[in-house]
């Protein structure tokens, strides 16, 4: 698969690089004054498995690259007491506020957490700014994607069920939104995004329908257009016809796959010997990147098999904690259906 080259900003403060694109009307510095925040908390996924895979030690220094509402961070802070620390990173300032709120009643935990409103693609620099040099960290956790808070918060545009503006940014300081892609990309580029990031087989039909219906203002309007373009299948599908296209747009808006590659490589370099990187991925595109990167970093020689003598100079930096991917239990899936697609992998620094 050839990756789509998208004009995505590397830094949240960079201007939108889409020709002539402007920020949609929803762009704001914060959502707090705009959006009712749901009361339901995000349930941390595979919590016991995460703590086991991280092998959390009292006094250890950990980085939570996807702080979200702080569910995993809270559990790590309990496990690394009395003096262990967590640096929680999130691209979304609202997530950091929410995580701080969660720990507000536990000063012992809150006092050992620091936070950074940043993209984990810069995890090495962000960690260095917080006193964690290369080779000094006991563990890094990635719990990818979006939180229930983001999915359920009005105005964010992540849910196809509401007439929210087409936004989908994790970081509102970034200028490009889903509306820019939906309303400004030409049909072929749009189809490529939908195919490559959503693995949507009907990508060309969907892109053609979107282009014909422009301008599109809201997430539910977009979902209706996508549904009308999809071939009718017999029986009832468990997933909404817009699911894959919405995934594709979210990945593109936030350059999620590029950030993951950058972040993982840097996370490994942050570890001290015996330190661990643990990743929970929620779809095959993410999981494939994690699996391949971990396998490569756990291998001495990465020469093509036909090369008779190794000349790559590569040496393994990690070992796989488990050969097989770890999945949530049936009981967890019953209690939290959003955990269904979770896939956990972990490596340990040599």
Ligand X SMILES: C[S@@+](CC[C@H](N)C(=O)[O-])C[C@H]1O[C@@H](n2cnc3c(N)ncnc32)[C@H](O)[C@@H]1O
Interface ranges with ligand X (CB under 6 A) = 42, 44, 66, 68-72, 89-92, 95, 119-121, 143, 145-147, 170, 259
Q: How many CB atoms are located within 10 Å of the residue 234 CB?
A: 5
Name the minimum Å distance from CB 228 to ligand X.
31
- Distances in Å between the Cα of 231 and the Cα atoms of 186, 199, 227 are 22, 16, 9
Residue 44 or 198 having the CB closest to ligand X:
44
Angle at Cα 331 formed by Cα 319 and Cα 295, nearest 5°? 15
- Reading the block at residue 168, the tokens are 């989908």
DSSP 140: E
Nearer to ligand X, 121 or 283 (CB): 121
The string of DSSP codes covering 172-201 is TTS---HHHHHHHS-HHHHHHHHHHHH--T
Beta carbon of residue 170, minimum distance to ligand X (angstroms, whole number) = 4
- The smaller minimum CB distance to ligand X, of residues 90 and 152, is found at 90
Q: Which is nearer to ligand X, 73 or 245 (CB)?
A: 73
Least Å from the CB of residue 305 to ligand X = 34
Strands (E), the chain: 61-64, 85-90, 113-117, 137-143, 271-281, 318-320, 343-349
Give me the residue whose beta carbon is nearest to ligand X: 68
Give the nearer residue to ligand X in terms of CB position, either 138 or 262: 262
Find all residues with CB under 8 Å of 282, minimum gap 6, and list them: 144, 145, 341, 342, 343
Question: Least CB distance from residue 152 to ligand X, whole Å?
Answer: 12
Q: Render 247-299 in DSSP notation, one character per residue.
A: HHHHHHHHTHHHHHHHHHHHHHHHEEEEEEEEEEE-SHHHHHHHHHHHHHHT-
- Minimum distance from CB of 149 to ligand X (Å)? 7
Q: How far is the CB of 308 from ligand X (least distance, A)?
A: 41
* Residue (225 or 342) nearer to ligand X, CB: 342
Which CB, 77 or 207, lies closer to ligand X?
A: 77
Closest CA to 96 of 26, 149, 40, 168: 149
CB of 7 to ligand X, least distance (A): 17
């Amino acid at each position: 698969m050839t990756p789509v080259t998208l004009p995505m900003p590397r830094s949240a403060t960079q201007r939108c690089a889409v020709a002539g694109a402007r920020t949609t009307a929803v762009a704001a510095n914060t959502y707090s004054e705009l959006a009712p925040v749901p009361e339901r908390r995000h349930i941390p996924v595979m919590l016991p498995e995460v703590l086991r895979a991280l092998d959390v030690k009292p006094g250890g220094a950990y980085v939570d690259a996807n702080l979200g509402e702080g569910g995993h961070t809270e559990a790590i802070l309990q496990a690394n007491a009395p003096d262990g620390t967590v640096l929680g990173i999130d691209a979304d300032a609202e997530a950091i506020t929410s995580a701080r709120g969660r720990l507000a009643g536990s000063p012992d935990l809150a006092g050992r957490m620091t936070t950074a409103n940043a993209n984990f693609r810069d995890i090495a620099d962000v960690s260095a700014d917080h006193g964690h040099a290369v080779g000094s960290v006991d563990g890094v956790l990635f719990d990818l994607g979006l939180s229930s808070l983001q999915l359920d918060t009005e105005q964010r545009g992540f849910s196809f069920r509401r007439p929210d503006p087409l936004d989908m940014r994790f970081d509102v300081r970034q200028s490009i939104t889903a509306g820019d892609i939906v309303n400004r990309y030409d049909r072929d580029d749009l189809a490529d995004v939908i195919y490559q990031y959503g693995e949507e087989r009907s990508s060309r039909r969907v892109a053609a329908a979107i282009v014909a219906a422009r301008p599109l203002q809201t997430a539910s309007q977009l979902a209706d257009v996508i549904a009308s373009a999809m071939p009718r299948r017999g029986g009832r599908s468990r997933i909404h016809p817009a699911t894959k296209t919405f995934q594709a747009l979210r990945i593109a808006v936030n350059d999620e796959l590029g950030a993951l590659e950058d972040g993982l490589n840097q996370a490994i370099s942050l570890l001290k010997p015996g330190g661990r990187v643990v990743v929970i991925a929620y779809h095959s595109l993410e999981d494939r990147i994690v699996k391949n990167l971990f396998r490569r970093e756990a291998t001495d020689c990465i020469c093509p098999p036909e090369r008779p003598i190794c000349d790559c100079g590569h040496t393994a930096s990690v070992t796989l904690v488990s050969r097989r991917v770890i999945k949530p239990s049936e009981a967890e899936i019953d209690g939290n259906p959003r955990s269904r697609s979770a896939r956990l992998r972990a490596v340990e620094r040599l």
